[in-house]
Structures are given as C-alpha cells and as structure tokens.
Amino acid sequence: MSHLMFYPETGWTPLIESATREVFEVMLGAKLEPFQDDPSLVTEMIAMVGLTGRVAGVVSFHCTAQGARAMAAKMLGSAAPEEDSARDAVGEICNMVAGSFKNKLGQVGDECKLTVPTIISGAECMMQASPGGTHVQMPFSYEGSPIAVVLDLRN
Amino acid sequence: MGRLRGLVVDDSAVMRKMIERTLTQAGVPVGELLEASDGWEALAKAKAQRPDLILCDINMPTMDGLEFLRALKAAPEGGNTPVVMITTEGSEARMGEAATLGARGYIRKPFTLEQVKAQLAPILGAAPEGK
C-alpha cells in the first residue's frame, strides 16, 4: 500500500459537501441551505468519526441540541425524541457522512477505515484542529438550526 | 408469504428504528423484529431465535458485522439464514469479503427505499412460510 499523501483533483470541499447533502437528502428528505451567519463552531453537540489509511483524520458534525432533536425526530418519525436518541442520531449522521465521503475517494477510500462514532455534548462544545493539517468547514442550516461538517486531515 | 422473524443488527438504536420503518414501507411482512447492538448479541439471538432474515451493519464495537457473519455461517443454527449487510462501508473489498462470507445482499447507507426493496426481493421470494 502506498503511503504517499493523496489529494483529490477537485479538492476536498466538493467531496465533503456532496457527502453531507447526500445524507440529508436521502435519509432525512431535507435540502440543506447555506448558513449565512457566524460560522463559529461553538455548538452543543459534536459527533466525530476517525478515518485511517492514506487519507487520515477526523470527520466531525456540529449542531445545537435543538437541531439534534429535530434530526432525531425526522429519523425516528416521532415528535419528541429523548436526549439519547438525539445523540445517537447525530452520531449516525456523522457516520454516514464520513462513509459517503470515503466512498467518494474511490480506490484510495477503499484502503481507508472508519472508526465508530464518538459523541460529546454540553454547553459551548468546541473542537480545535491540529495545526498544519487540512481543515475544511462546511456550515449549513437545517430547519433553521445551524449545523457544520468539518474535515480535519493529517498532512 | 407468511410473517417473517427479522433481526436488525446496528449499534445505533435510531438506525435500527429507521431500518424497521423502511421494512414496513417496503412491504416486508415482518411479524416479529428482533434487535441487537453488536455482533455478539446478534449471534446469541440468531442461534436462539432463528430469524428468517438478518440485516446487519459492519462497523460496530466488540464484534463487527463481518466477524458476526463468519461466526454465524460456521454455526449449525445459522448457516442458511439470509444476511444482508447494511452499512456505510462501500469499498469493493468489503463488499467482496461480505459476499465471500455468505452475505446475500449489500445496502450502502444512506439508502433509499428502492435500494432496500431491490436487495430484499430475491431473498423474500424464497423466504419460508408459516411464521
């Protein structure tokens, strides 16, 4: 297996953006809108999925508690999901975004593996990328709530 | 066709519920749906309760879906049970490994209702009756 750094011709942004949109359109029946306001990543819930192999790093998904409940409600078909379901839903969304992103890498993605999701929650959660790596941040709006998908890759 | 006993294996309870709803929307005649959150739990339930159909994730803690499939196919109670993998893992290598281990279908997440129907149709056509 080659350990040379891989860089897609299109850059990373279209890949992570299309992976995110695909998950929301197929699994939640939702078309994501661009988020125009402050793209700060200070949120209330963060899910993370690690990626190992020729493309190594973390895909993370950031949202508010209200947004997490809205996504869980849509996935479960229930009006008022519990806190555990909201966390679970956010983890699964992040897992699918990371999987879809990996699948878009073709043969290089085939050589990569994903970790199971980790979810953290609390007031003003914040995640900071390692210096020197690739950082792509995609802010969206889901039913009026801000969400963000972040790709942090090791160079 | 009779009512089936299904087993959904995924470490996400939300995803298990989504799969259950999708089976209903696809018109799969599920009489009883068992759930497991990892391969070990799934193996115990598959051996004890002999489901007619298993839908199984791959990336799970403790025992992943491919390890579960290998163990199930080696067990006298589970060798013939149809297993469909339902996972974010879309690599040709993983799909080939699952097929070699005896998976009857492979559904990538995110999935559409049509994709689920297409993968289950050949299996349901041959499903046992009377449960």
Domain boundaries, chain B: 4-124
Rounded to whole angstroms, how far apart are CA atoms A90 and A93? Answer: 5
Tell how far CA A111 is from the center of its chain: 20
Write out chain B residues lying below 8 Å of A85, CB-based.
Answer: 13-14
Q: What is the pLDDT of residue B44?
A: 96
DSSP reduced 3-state for A18: helix
State the pLDDT confidence band at A10, using cuts at 50, 70 and 90: confident
> In whole angstroms, how far apart are CA B36 and each of A50, A121, A154, B47, B120?
24, 25, 35, 13, 20
Q: What is the pLDDT of residue B6?
A: 97
Q: What is the pLDDT of residue B131?
A: 47
> In whole angstroms, how far apart are CA B8 and each of A2, A147, A155, B29, B119?
37, 29, 38, 14, 15
Of B18, B59, B87, Cβ closest to residue A75: B18
Of B11, B90, B108, Cβ closest to residue A116: B11
Q: What is the pLDDT of residue B43?
A: 96
Q: Does B38 touch chain A (CB under 8 A)?
A: no
Tens of pLDDT, residue by residue over B95-104, are 999 999 999 9
Q: What is the pLDDT of residue A128?
A: 73
Domains identified in chain A and CATH numbers: 13-30+39-153 (3.40.1550.10)
Kindly tell me if the per-residue pLDDT of A43 is higher than 90.
no
Of A22, A92, A110, Cβ closest to residue B14: A92
Phi, psi of B7 (to 5 degrees): -130, 120
What does pLDDT average to in each consecutive run of 10 residues of chain B (131 residues)? 90 96 94 97 96 96 95 89 93 90 96 96 70 47
Chain B nearest C-alpha distance from A50 (Å)? 12
The CATH classification of domain B4-124, taken from the options 3.90.1300.10, 1.25.40.10, 3.40.50.2300, 3.40.1350.10 = 3.40.50.2300
> In whole angstroms, how far apart are CA B37 and each of A59, A115, B58, B59?
23, 16, 11, 11
Q: What is the pLDDT of residue B130?
A: 42
Q: Does B108 touch chain A (CB under 8 A)?
A: yes
